Amino acid sequence: MSDIVIEKNVGLPKERNKNKYPYLEMEIGDSFFVENGKLGLICNLNYRMLKLHAKRYIARSEATGVRVWRTE
């Protein structure tokens, strides 16, 4: 057999916040800036927020990073 032990009554770990950006605290018209951010990564996060929370965001490159606005 295997060396894997089945354990009972082990609690689940606390849910961790995977998103380090303030998407859910934003109101329409608010923005935040990500220093040295990658536009492609931020656009993927924006899409995820649309699918999970039905809130729309747009990102644009600026001189030293990426700015994100909440639009809906």
Q: pLDDT of 29-70, one tens digit each?
A: 999 999 999 999 999 999 999 999 999 999 999 999 999 999
Q: Which of 9, 46, 10 is nearest to 31 (CA)?
A: 46
pLDDT 10s digits, 47-57? 999 999 999 99
Three-class SS string for 31-46?
Answer: EEEEECCCHHHHHHHH
E strands, the chain, are 31-35, 57-62, 65-70
Instruction: Give the pLDDT band of residue 15 (cuts 50, 70, 90).
Output: confident
pLDDT > 90? residue 17: no
Neighbours of 49 (CB within 10 A): 20
CA separation for the pair 28, 16 (Å, rounded): 26
